[in-house]
């Protein structure tokens, strides 16, 4: 057990004194602001990537109307399912399931139901799901990176005790039961402040690095047919696995063979994503030439005429290394040789 060294506190990362501010009677919660900022960043990046792949501006915003609510509900359901005793066990409060502002969102539930919402929105607009999700996946990483700062405001989901210079200060009222039990077992006293691994920061930096890697791979190898999503899952689960191993937050599901449930989830999803990547690359190499379902898309819906190619009706603008055709719809195969337009997005903060 690492002792808390007061002389090192000055070199650590402080936690905010409060995670809530008030504008008159209206509370502004840091956790919620981080989630909202992450969603906005993901939509912005996704919109630009979707245009670069031949889609029309505004499609991603329309899809988000479905994906975001589904994702939030899914994230909450996953958290409640994996921490059910805290709500329905002895001393639990079932009504607090609705208190989403207090924290408690599970990433995998959000991704799963968010994808369902995106699928519904895509079906309604005549958009092919695979190129849509490939356009959205990197931005989701940026959103996750930003959203993790909500854990900092709530002083939650931190790692094991440490005295490293970048350790995170946590107030006594936010200690986990597991940490208090550890002190008790070692006959140590509770202190007002202790320092822990800042797992929120580790995941934020990991996600930003994964975002940069995926953008490079997409530009270099022109990934398509859902393979950007597969790389996203592999990259995220690699980081989530070791970060989850550091965490000491109270979990309601028993360890399986010495590993936390979320570690096993990461392992299983990594294997599935890797298998899909290999299978997809053999079955359908390269990238799709159409992003809309045949007979659908902006041109077909507005004129009743089936689109016949990647018609470019607007001026082109440059986004980073990518060329975006404002009016491009349908197939993107007519682009100039060597034009990397459909391979990535501009520099941005990540998710």
- Binding-site residues, in ranges, read 148
Full 3-state SS string of the chain? CCCCCHHHHHHCECCCCCCEEEECCEEEEHHHHHHHHHHHHHHHHHHHHHHHCCCCCCHHHHHHHHHHHHHHHHHHHHHHHHCCHHHHCCCCCHHHHHCHHHCCCCHHHHHHHHHHHHHHHHHHHCECHHHHHHHHHHHHHHHHHHHCHHHHHHCCCCECECCCCCCEEEEHHHCCHHHHHHHHHCCCCCCCEEEECCHHHHHHHHHHHHHHHHHHHHHHHCCCCCHHHHHHHHHHHHHHHHHHHHECCCCCCCCECCECHHHHHHHHHHHHHHHHHHHHHHHCCCCCCECECCCCCHHHHHHCCCCCCCCCCCCEEEECCEEEECCCCCECCCCCCCCCHHHCCCCCCCC
């Amino acid at each position: 057990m690492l002792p808390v060294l007061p002389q090192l506190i000055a070199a650590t990362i402080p936690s905010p004194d409060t995670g809530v501010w008030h504008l008159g009677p209206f509370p502004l919660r840091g956790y919620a602001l981080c989630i909202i900022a992450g969603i906005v960043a993901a939509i912005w990046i996704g919109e630009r990537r979707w245009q670069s792949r031949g889609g029309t501006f505004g499609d991603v915003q329309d899809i988000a109307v479905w994906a975001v609510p589904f994702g939030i509900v899914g994230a909450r359901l996953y958290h409640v399912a994996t921490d059910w005793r805290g709500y329905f066990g002895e001393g639990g409060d079932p009504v607090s399931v609705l208190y989403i502002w207090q924290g408690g969102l599970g990433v995998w539930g959000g991704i799963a139901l968010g994808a369902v919402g995106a699928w519904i929105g895509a079906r309604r607009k005549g958009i092919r799901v695979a190129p849509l999700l490939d356009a959205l996946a990197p931005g989701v990483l940026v959103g996750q990176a930003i959203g993790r700062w909500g854990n900092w405001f709530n002083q939650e989901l931190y790692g094991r005790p440490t005295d490293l210079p970048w350790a995170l200060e946590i107030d006594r009222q936010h200690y986990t039961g597991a940490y208090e039990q550890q002190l008790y077992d070692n006959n140590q006293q509770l202190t007002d402040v202790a320092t822990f691994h800042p797992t929120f920061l580790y995941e934020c930096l990991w996600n930003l690095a994964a975002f940069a890697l995926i953008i490079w791979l997409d530009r270099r190898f022109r990934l398509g047919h859902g393979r950007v999503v597969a790389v996203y899952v592999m990259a995220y689960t690699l980081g989530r696995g070791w970060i989850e191993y550091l965490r000491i937050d109270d979990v309601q599901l028993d360890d399986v063979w010495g590993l936390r449930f979320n570690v096993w989830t990461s392992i299983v999803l990594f294997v599935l994503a890797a298998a899909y990547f290999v299978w997809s690359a053999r079955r359908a190499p390269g990238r799709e030439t159409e992003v809309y379902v045949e007979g659908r898309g902006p041109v077909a819906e507005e004129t009743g005429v089936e689109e016949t190619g990647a018609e470019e009706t607007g001026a082109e603008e440059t986004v980073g290394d990518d060329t975006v055709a404002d009016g491009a719809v349908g197939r993107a195969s007519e682009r100039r040789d060597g034009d990397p337009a459909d391979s990535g997005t501009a520099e941005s903060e990540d998710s």
